[in-house]
Structure 1
Amino acid sequence: MLSPALHGESPVPEPVRTPSRNDDRIGAEQVRTLMRNCPVAVMGAGTGAIILAIAFDLSGRVRPDRAWLWAALMIGCVLSHLALCVAYRRARPADGAWRIWLRLFTLIAACEGATWFVGANWLTSPNDLLQELMVLLVYSAIASGSLPTFGTHLAPFSAFFYPVIMPHLGFSLIYQYEYWNVLAVLLVAYIVAMTLIARHTNAQFIEGLQLRFENVDLVEGLRIAKADAEHANVAKSSFLAAASHDLRQPIHALGLFVGALENCTMDAEARGIVARIEGAVAAMDDLFLALLDISKLDAAAVTPAFQAVPLAQLLERIAQDYRGEAAEKRIGLRLRTGGFWVRSDPVLLERIVRNILSNAVRYTDRGGVLMGCRAVGDQITVEIWDTGRGIAEDQQARIFEEFYQIDNPERDRSRGLGLGLAIVRRLTDLLDCRLSMRSQPHRGTVFRLVLPRTNRPNIAPPDDPPAPQADSHQETILIIDDEAAIRQAMATVLASWGYRTLVAGSADEMLALLASDHARPALLVCDYRLRAGATGAEAVMKIRSYLGRDIPALLVTGDTAPDRIAEAMASGLVLLHKPVQHGRLRAAIGNLLRADAR
């Protein structure tokens, strides 16, 4: 059988338990309980002994010297026990030192028992049954009281109990009081019962301690396992963040070079190869964008823009994009909508519905998919039904995990990345809408998304959008990146678009170039993470301070760590994430230049 580690699980480490360690912990707890229970009990017993001695002395039933001597001995025993308890509390000994304290406690308990034994002989008259019964009453109460006080350990209990009670059994046999045989039988029964109860109580106490320490060990083991898991998760996140950043750099450069190739003269075969390279880069870009989406959501760097959303238009646009794929698979894709409006973020809501509908079409091989909405009170429910493969009950919770895919162990990219529903879960939490799912294998699945209903707003017709302007060629763009390949790729692609560039690996290098260049730069494109811990935001501030104006700036980053994303977005600058498609980069540069020209 494979170990849990081979399945990627983190087994809970069992705490190391040795008999000596458990014995020490149990023994130490027994001694602590004895010391905790002792003071009140021995003071009560001592007080009872003194009262009994005084009463018999005043009644003339006992010689005064014996009564007071016995009382003095009892006081000495009580003070010895109290002194031992005080010394124990002050010492706070380690668990391994419990044996010496138990021996001292048992020795004093034996002295107390011996003192009661002597008192039994001094306080009992062979000719007075009433006196014997009075003494026996007090002694049996003291003996019974020793069970909760000393019963946590049999050694001190035995050292005290038997010297206290056994003399009276002997007196009943030797003096042969009236009904002595009945008294002897009752005493034997009492001694046997107390012995059995003491053993049972002690066994239960030890068993309770064992269970308690097992729970302590289990909690400690879980704490260690949790700490290890958190450490492993942090290490994994750090590794993924570093690996993602390092992988994005060459992919970003590759995408820029491919963009530059589009303006080169080449034959049809070469253009086909370039197109395939561009497709591969786009596939890698899709993966990185999905990872980036998760990182941004985890970093709380996405703020929903709630507004009234026309649900029918949104669903129709999404359905239209998947009708072609459904037709190729020869499955139906039907849409049932009403004139409902909901309050949500239209972009994020569309992302949720697209991911769910995409999965429904992808995993439906026969039958069809139905997407519709209906009103339930002041809420609108968007439902996506399919007659696809369905999801087993034991896998339904896991489909919202990152990179989890059913029946795709070979990680076929054409079947998705396993990130869509992980993003959906985060987005529904962000939008505070409820998502539920019901599925049966081989019969299909239904997802239900519950959204708050709102009224249709009064919308003014939009202004005509401004006509796009051509790029302003021969404008100088500053490029700061600590990767030489990125600098070269960026300069190449910008040159192919007609821009002049100045490239540097840091802000200080760029300042040195600007000191000898008389051009007026129009834009700054800067990597966010630079050498020596510097950031792109700091570089932008240095360049702007040198130029004496707020030159438009564009940050580019390959980081996916949530804290770094939040930090970069806090700068307030336009932020693009590597690998940047050359079309997106060109559009961002054009928008910034046009905005600065106004």
Structure 2
Amino acid sequence: MPLLIPRFDEPRLLAAEMELIDQSFGIAMLGCALAAFILALGLALGGGRPGAFPWALAMGLACAAGHFGRRRLPERTSQAKAGLYARAMTALLTLIGALWGLAAWLYMDVKSPATVICILSLIAGMSAAALAVFSACLPVAVGFFVPAIVPVWAVFIATGDAAYLAMFLGTPLYLVVLMIFARNYARVARHGIALRFANVELISQLREQTARAENAQREAEEANRAKSVFLASASHDLRQPLHALGLFVVTLGRSDLTDKQRQLLTHIEAASCAAREMLNTLLDFSKVDAGVITARPRAFRLQPLLYKLENEFAPQADGRGLFYRTRDTTATVFADPTLVELILRNLIANAIRYTSQGGVLVACRRRGKSMVLEVWDTGAGIPASQHRAIFREFHQLGNPERDQRKGLGLGLAIVEGLARTMSTRVLLNSRPGRGSVFRFALPVTEDRAETPAAGLHQRPGLRGLRVLVIDDDQEIRIAMRALLESWQAVCLALESEEEALAALDTFRPDLLLADYRLRGGRTGQEAMMAIRERLGHALPTVIITGDTAPDRLRSVHAGGAALLHKPVMAQQLHTAMTALLRDAGWRQDIPRSAAGNGADRMARAGR
């Protein structure tokens, strides 16, 4: 029963089925009309049946009505109109099938084998064409098969001749086979359409997931930028008072103090140093994050660096009851010694911080053309699941209370970034309860290590050096003037770029010290450019900043000035100044002009 009375599918499937049929419907109608006129012509010429032409005309009109009439339904393959289109097409195909059945009933003379063969061939051909074109929607195909074939069967029944027994039995069998094939084709078409829908839905889901992933990536990038802005702002606000404090402490240390005052000053220096170390850690991370660190490899011997680190960290290890060992080496490597020192310093500090008994070993091992530097400890060890996570920023193990004495969780993130800058990797082997070893490889070279010239170790004095200071913070101006004058330099400290430009008529500076953020939204870099333009030459400049934002770091590095970060240690400032003066060829014994001497007196008066 379901085979004889098929039903239309649900609207979504039906719309797709009718779209498949509609693509070939015009050709099918044209072929049906041509077949009808060919049959009529054959019947008229060979069988003497001119009455077949009106039948062919009726068939042509029905086919034309179907082909052109469907244009009255412009949205015929939409879900809303597919049901109406399917019913109309079923009715049309039933009419066309009935016309073919009528031709068999009227013109199939069993006494004329040629006529029988001609009519049966065309009806079978039309049925096969209907199977191919209309089986996507089973009711449409069945609508053609039944009225086209049942009359043929009736003709053979009406003959009552046993000679046509095979045709009598074969005709209904042919109808059943057609309907079975049509049902199978319909299932295949339905399955293909369902797969197409599934693919469309999958593509839509993939697009949605891709859009969500892109949104998540944008949010992560925004969060990362917000983090950088926060670090820059927070560190700048904290560096400003610490910078002034450090300058005052150095100046105070040169004064006559009692033993109790010296003891208090020592505690102040220790507290200031701890805060400075935390901010410097943030600065190192910001530099790595900004990509402003560039490796400058050269040949250097490892042993002096290892001695230096041992002298610094061995007392810390002893203070915690730990041993500190260094395995001597004669190796010379080709790398950036400053970055190598930073990596080892972070790894050794971590090893001491997280080791409660035993000790730390710093060793080198030759592996082919590389020297592998290793930092061993006998600490608590690191679970395998955390081996990659510990290299993420602010990730710490064993510090749920966020004890600042255990650091900020940036050391290993800095280490990984510095190693990446030198085209190497930091590898970790660790077992909980057994300790850890961090290692990284550096290329070995047979070249002799560079030895600085003797003159580079001689720091030029600052007696008589004329320094122009621009800073909008009064406390820093006072502290900076006191420090520079303790170095026997002549200092003029002003609060704005405008005052500095106005003072150039009477004060010709040898060096400029400028804060990055100045009044009126100006920067120390802009002030430097304006002063250099007024003087007509490149004035050696130190820009002091508390910012750690990546774009700020890149901008200042590109400006041609030395860059120091607050809080600045006095020795660090002295080193930067003397390096700039050495490069500029400044000499302490250069005579000063009368105008310059007058300006010096004005500067000493504090203007």
Distance in structure 2 (CA, Å) of the matches to 1:503 and 1:76:
99
Kindly state the Cα deviation for residue 333 of structure 1 after the two structures are TM-superposed. 3.9
Corresponding residue of 1:348: 339
TM-score (norm 2): 0.79
The reply to whether residue 160 of structure 1 matches residue 149 of structure 2 is: no
Q: What is aligned with 1:416?
A: 407
Q: 1:67 aligned to 56, 62, 65, which one?
A: 56
> Which residue is 1:597 aligned to?
586
Question: Whole-Å Cα distance in 1 between the matches of residues 438 and 173 of structure 2?
Answer: 82
Matched, 1:400 2:400: no
In structure 1, what is the equivalent of residue 499 of structure 2? 509
1:189 to 180, 199, 202: 180
Q: Could you report, residue by residue, the CA deviation over 1:237-284 in whole angstroms, capped at 9, with x for unpaired residues? A: 223323322332222222223233223444333333332222222222
Question: What is the CA-CA distance between 1:567 and the residue it aligns to?
Answer: 0.9
C-alpha spacing 1:441/1:579, structure 2 compared with 1 (3 Å): same
Are the aligned partners of 1:343 and 1:451 in contact in 2 as well (CA < 8 Å)?
yes
Q: Give the aligned partner of residue 581 of structure 1.
A: 569
Residue 41 (structure 1) aligned to one of 12, 15, 24: 24
**Counterpart residue identity of residue 240, structure 2:** Q
Contact 1:390 1:439 in 2 (8 A): yes
Q: Highest Rg: 1 or 2?
A: 2
Cα distance change of structure 1 residues 466 and 337 upon mapping to structure 2, 3 Å threshold = closer
> How far apart are the structure 2 equivalents of 1:332 and 1:81?
94
1:49 is aligned with what amino acid? C
% identical aligned pairs? 34
Q: Decide whether aligned partners of structure 1 residues 143 and 580 sit closer, same or farther in structure 2, where only a CA change above 3 A counts.
A: same
The 5 Å alignment of 1:537-548 reads 537-548=525-536
Cα distance, 1:500 vs structure 2 = 4.2
Q: Does the 8 Å contact 2:427/2:438 carry over to 1? A: yes
Report matched runs for 1:49-448 at 5 Å.
49-60=32-43, 63-78=52-67, 101-104=78-81, 106-124=83-101, 125-126=104-105, 131-132=119-120, 134-146=122-134, 157=137, 160-168=140-148, 171=151, 178-179=168-169, 180-190=171-181, 192-194=183-185, 196-197=187-188, 199-448=190-439
**Counterpart for residue 95 of structure 1:** none
The SS at the match of 1:454 is: coil
For the 8 Å contact 1:368–1:387, the answer to whether it is kept is yes
2:518 & 2:16 partners in 1: Cα distance? 61
Assess if the C-alpha contact under 8 Å between 2:21 and 2:134 holds in 1: no
State the 1:525 CA deviation: 1.0
User: Is the contact made by 1:77 and 1:108 (CA closer than 8 Å) also made in structure 2?
Assistant: no
CA offsets per residue over residues 537-568 of structure 1, 9 Å max, x none? 22123223334454432211122111111111
What letter matches 1:163 in structure 2?
Answer: G
Counterparts of residues 23-38 of structure 1 (less than 5 Å): none
Superposition deviation, residue 342 in structure 1: 2.1
- Indicate how the Cα distance of structure 1 residues 256 and 50 shifts in structure 2: closer, same or farther if over 3 A, else same: farther
For 1:531, which of 504, 519, 522 is the aligned residue? 519
Instruction: Give the secondary-structure state (helix, strand or coil) at the position aligned to 1:302.
Output: coil
The verdict on how the C-alpha distance between 1:191 and 1:168 changes in structure 2, with shifts beyond 3 A counting, is farther
Contact residue 386 and residue 446 of structure 1 kept, 8 A: yes
For residues 328 and 554 of structure 2, the distance between their equivalents in structure 1, rounded to whole angstroms, comes to 38
Letter in 2 for 1:233: N
Q: 1:404 & 1:193 partners in 2: Cα distance?
A: 62
Cα gap change, 1:251/1:417 in structure 2, threshold over 3 Å: closer, same or farther? same
Question: How far apart, in 2, do the equivalents of 1:329 and 1:589 lie?
Answer: 38
Residue 431 of structure 2 is aligned to residue 454 of structure 1:
no
Cα 1:441–1:142 shift into 2, 3 Å: farther
Moved more, 407-416 or 107-116: 107-116
Offset at residue 481 of structure 1 (A): 2.0
DSSP-derived class of the 2:95 partner: helix
Unpaired stretches in structure 1, ≥5 consecutive residues: 1-25, 89-98, 152-156
Residue 399 and residue 67 in structure 1: after superposition, are their counterparts in 2 closer, same or farther (change >3 A)?
A: same
Q: Distance in 2 between matches of 1:27 and 1:471?
A: 92
Q: 1:166 to 1:384 in 2, by over 3 A?
A: farther
CA RMSD of aligned residues (A): 3.5
- Change in Cα spacing, 1:362 to 1:161, as seen in structure 2 (3 Å) is same
* Residues 1:494 and 1:325: Cα distance change in structure 2 (over 3 Å): closer
454 and 477 in structure 1: CA distance in 2 versus 1, 3 angstrom threshold: closer
- Determine helix, strand or coil for the equivalent of 2:426: strand
Is structure 2 residue 459 aligned with structure 1 residue 479? no
Distance 2:383 2:208 in 1: 36
CA drift at 1:591: 4.6
Q: 1:435 to 1:408 in 2, by over 3 A?
A: same
Whether the aligned pair in 1 keeps the contact of 2:236 and 2:546 (CA below 8 Å) is yes
**C-alpha displacement at 1:410, in angstroms?**
1.9
Q: 1:168 to 1:329 in 2, by over 3 A?
A: farther
**Paired residue type of 1:221:** R
Letter paired with 1:323: A
Distance 1:512 1:455 in 2: 56
> Displacement, 1:422?
0.8
Q: CA deviation at 1:573?
A: 1.4
C-alpha distance in structure 2 between counterparts of 1:41 and 1:100, whole Å: 13
Match of 1:23 in 2: none
Q: How does 1:3-14 map to 2 (within 5 A)?
A: none
Partner in structure 1 of residue 597 of structure 2: none
Distance of aligned partners of 1:262 and 1:32 in 2 relative to their CA distance in 1, 3 Å threshold: farther
Distance in structure 2 (CA, Å) of the matches to 1:559 and 1:34: 68
2:294 maps to amino acid: T
- Secondary structure of the residue aligned to 2:514 is strand
SS of 2:472's equivalent? coil
In structure 2, list runs of 5 or more residues that go unmatched.
Answer: 1-9, 45-50, 111-115, 158-166, 588-607
Q: Which amino acid aligns with 1:490?
A: M
**Mean CA deviation greater in 214-223 or 452-461:** 452-461
Shift of 1:52: 2.8
TM-score by length of 1: 0.80
The one-letter amino acid of 1:530's match is L
Q: 1:307 deviation in Å?
A: 1.5
SS of equivalent residue, structure 1 residue 178: helix
